[in-house]
Chains A and B, each alone.
Chain A
């Protein structure tokens, strides 16, 4: 039975899961959830994710929500397929650290910024300049730490591409389409890392899904 991803193509969290499945060359069925119609808040979807958010995931009898729990499950359950995305032994501890860094240090700020600079314009809503003004310098500080880290390590978690890097892709791609691109370009190691991970074929496949709609 094929794995199912319930979500939306434009959703960053759903994209996190798509990226993982493509990296691992795994077959899956995409079941669109109509966010505009509020389908994610309706009973049949709440049964899959009681928080009413996309994505939700199904692999046989296993049902999961939370994109980072799903990607982890896939990476471990299908460890021998496609890109490893995790490490054996001691290096995995550091990969784990940088997965938390993405979730807490990067994504909290990046999500607020992408909401103001990418989504609000899409919905015809006015940007709150104060939010951008407050969070841009905070993101700059985080990227300074990334710059130092990437001076010591090829990828964030270790020397190979893992979930610690992958989890950034959806929100990062959004921000790179805004004036905030300059923050990433200004830091050489960060800039190289961004270019490298955004150029991955699996990520191109995720972006291509938008064109197929």
Chain B
């Protein structure tokens, strides 16, 4: 049996948790390797060898070392295509095209405002950094516009890419979790009928519950 794959970084990191959620969905055994970010371990030469931008996560299996959470997720789905949730990153080209479209939408339209808000609302207070009210206001507005588009899409589609839960939905879990819990932005999601339904469904998945447990315990 192959050694478990390695994920470097703390589960509290949104990007790390994106990979953890994917590993749980695909039933792929993994080992979490701690990276002491408070001590700047991620900026030290040993770590920079595996992630030259000094960010988490990084990933290793017996054949390769890679980084960038969405690239890691795609790799896991490609390599372990026959394991766990097979619909996560469908091998059907037309379905895959739709998944890629919504994965890019997450990456380009959802991630920027939601990441900015997660930092301001969830992490800045913990780091004794003063919140930037202007930035919060600006990104709240951007987020709501994106959620309006999602609500329209999810009116006619159970999940973003179609009828099945895919990587495109999964990719939203980490930031959204912080927004609705610590970030007090739950109403933005629950007040939109389809977005509310979608968020409840994807955040109730066993894979995500496991990640949230990991976040609580580390």
Contacts and interface: CB of A to CB of B under 8 A. Distances in A.
A73 B70 contact: no
Contact of A96 (B74, B96, B104, B107): B74
A145 B68 CA distance: 14
Interface string A148-185: 11000000000000000000000000000000000000
A interface, over-half SS: helix
Interface in B146-176: 146, 149, 152-153
B97 A64 contact: yes
A192 interface: no
Contacts, number: 72
Nearest to A107: B108
A73 B66 CA distance: 23
Contacts of A36: none
Given A66-B108, A105-B53, A94 B97 contact: no
A195 interface: no
B68 A101 contact: yes
A94 B64 contact: yes
B40 interface: no
Nearest to B94: A62
B interface, over-half SS: helix
Interface in B106-132: 107-109, 112
B16 interface: no
Contact of B107 (A76, A92, A101, A103): A103
B71 A69 contact: no
A44 interface: no
Given A50-B149, A66-B105, A145-B53, A93 B66 contact: yes
A131 to B, nearest CB: 14
Contacts of A145: 52-53
B103 interface: yes
B112 to A, nearest CB: 8
A73 B75 CA distance: 17
Interface of A: 50-51, 62, 64-69, 72-73, 76-77, 90, 92-94, 96-97, 99-101, 103-105, 108, 142, 145, 148-149
B198 interface: no
Contact of B100 (A72, A100, A142): A72
A50 B70 CA distance: 23
A97 B149 contact: no
B4 to A, nearest CB: 18
Nearest to A144: B52
B154 to A, nearest CB: 11
8 contacts: A51-B149, A67-B104, A72-B97, A90-B64, A93-B75, A94-B66, A99-B71, A100-B68
Nearest to B68: A100
Interface in B12-60: 52-53
Contacts of A148: 52
Contacts of B146: 51
B63 interface: yes
A100 B146 CA distance: 21
Contact of B104 (A50, A68, A92, A97): A68
B189 interface: no
Given A62-B94, A103-B104, A103-B108, 12 more contacts: A51-B146, A66-B104, A69-B101, A72-B97, A72-B100, A73-B93, A76-B96, A94-B64, A94-B66, A96-B66, A96-B74, A145-B53
With most chain A CB atoms within 10 A of its CB, the pick from B97, B109, B149, B153 is B97
B103 A93 contact: no
A51 B105 contact: yes
A73 B68 contact: no
Contact of B97 (A67, A69, A93, A96): A69
B104 A90 contact: no
Given A64-B101, A97-B71, A77 B93 contact: yes
B141 to A, nearest CB: 15
